[in-house]
Structure 1
Amino acid sequence: MTTIAVLGNGRVGGGLATALTRAGHQVRVADRTPGAAADAARTARIVINATPGAGSLERLAALRAELRDKILVDVSNATVDGPDGLPVDLLYPGSSLAEQLQEALPGTRVVKTLNTMLFPVMTAPATLTRTPTAFLSGDDPQAKQTVRELLTGLGWHEEWITDLGGIRTARATEAAILFVPHVIRSSGFAPFAISIAR
């Protein structure tokens, strides 16, 4: 059992919190009330960023002390959204939210994952008709191993998880969000994930 704080209680955060609790972890969800995120992060071993990506950097940078020596799992994408609410561009072109978080939080081990799929797939990968891929990006191998174990507890098979390397590789997976509006307009709002076929 691991103590986990989920920052963000929307569809992504709520779904992850429910699945992680079902997997046997002690999970606390922080809403937007003042102090809730700090309190949750302070008592957790792993913190999951499921806040809207456009505001994540400012929100988490304010928790620098609480996030020190913690693993921060970043599942958000920082985008500029169009009138329909779907992403049209990246907020950090030539970089990524994960890189920005790692720079702002040098005492925290940031791992990027689960950001290349619609949210239902994060906790139910086997429901897709084809094998999905979960990518890992981060500078700390031990932190990535811990996150890999979290993912297997959510139903991700070992062979479905691909370690891309350091945190800089997150800019590649974050750019994949630009597929999303086109796929949704083409096929509707049905669960899907980016996958590497071999």
Structure 2
Amino acid sequence: MKLGILGAGRVGGTLARALAGKGHEVIVGTPDPAKRAAAWQGPPVSHTTLEAAASAASFVIHATPGDTALETLTALREPLRGKVLLDVANATVRLPNGLPGGLCPPDSSLGEKLQEALPETRVVKSLNTMLFTVMTAPGALATPPTAFLGGNDPAAKEQVAVLLGELGWRPEWILDLGGIETARATEALILLVPHVIRRQGLAPFAVSVVR
């Protein structure tokens, strides 16, 4: 599958390496493609602009900073039309140390706002309740993690679940919560992160439902 990844930071880079390693054609969109391409270490991927990556791919993963994501993706309305958009970002106010503070918007969620702004794009929220390393290595945790799914299109969520399976997520670790409004709950879990990191450092972790 031809996959577009919007964002080339730690999250986007981790996903790009893993998915390119699975044989997908990965196109990474970033404001500075030449710089990112020169620094890239990993399986072959293409680096291009955000618009070009969104246009070229049939399935797009959003991994740009959440606090500016709505403006960034609204500008990509046309290239994202009709496509599945897997949103893994959280929109928060940034603390001086770079860790997430309060939610923005406080009365909604990034997932909901993206779906409102992109009505012809099938937005699915997932992978936003864990340290980025767990996204592509869920089996590395001692306790099975949970990947929550939220979205209005059942077929789009099925496509996301298949992709998660390629990354090592077992079916019983994936929990479909319902519509995109459930992103309001999963995004709020980001408020745990500064406290967990302060106590445990950047050790891999995920927020999970344990039965």
Would you say same fold, with TM above 0.5? yes
The corresponding residue for 1:146 is 159
2:147 maps to 1:134: yes
Deviation at 1:157, TM superposition (A): 0.4
Give the letter for the 1:12 counterpart. Answer: V
Give the letter for the 2:201 counterpart. Answer: G
The corresponding residue for 2:194 is 181
Give the share of equivalent positions with the same residue, in percent.
Answer: 61
Measure the CA separation in 2 of the matches of 1:23 and 1:147: 15
The corresponding residue for 1:105 is 118
Give the letter for the 2:5 counterpart. Answer: V
Give the letter for the 2:179 counterpart. Answer: G
Deviation at 1:46, TM superposition (A): 0.7
Corresponding residue to 1:68 among 69, 76, 81: 81
Deviation at 1:33, TM superposition (A): 3.8
The corresponding residue for 2:185 is 172
Dislocated runs of 4+, deviation >2 Å: none
Deviation at 1:41, TM superposition (A): 0.8
Give the letter for the 2:120 counterpart. Answer: G
2:10 maps to 1:6: no
The corresponding residue for 1:79 is 92
Measure the CA separation in 2 of the matches of 1:85 and 1:10: 14
Deviation at 1:65, TM superposition (A): 0.4
> Helix, strand or coil for the counterpart of 1:88?
strand
Measure the CA separation in 2 of the matches of 1:197 and 1:151: 19
TM-score by length of structure 1 reads 0.97
The corresponding residue for 1:158 is 171
Query: Number of aligned pairs?
Result: 197
Deviation at 1:66, TM superposition (A): 0.4
The corresponding residue for 2:70 is 57
Instruction: Select between 118-127 and 32-41 the one with higher mean Cα deviation.
Output: 32-41
TM-score by length of structure 2 reads 0.91
The corresponding residue for 2:40 is none
> RMSD of the alignment, in Å?
1.0
Give the letter for the 2:152 counterpart. Answer: D
Deviation at 1:88, TM superposition (A): 1.5
Gaps of 5+ in 2: 34-47
Measure the CA separation in 2 of the matches of 1:155 and 1:188: 24
Measure the CA separation in 1 of the matches of 2:180 and 2:117: 13
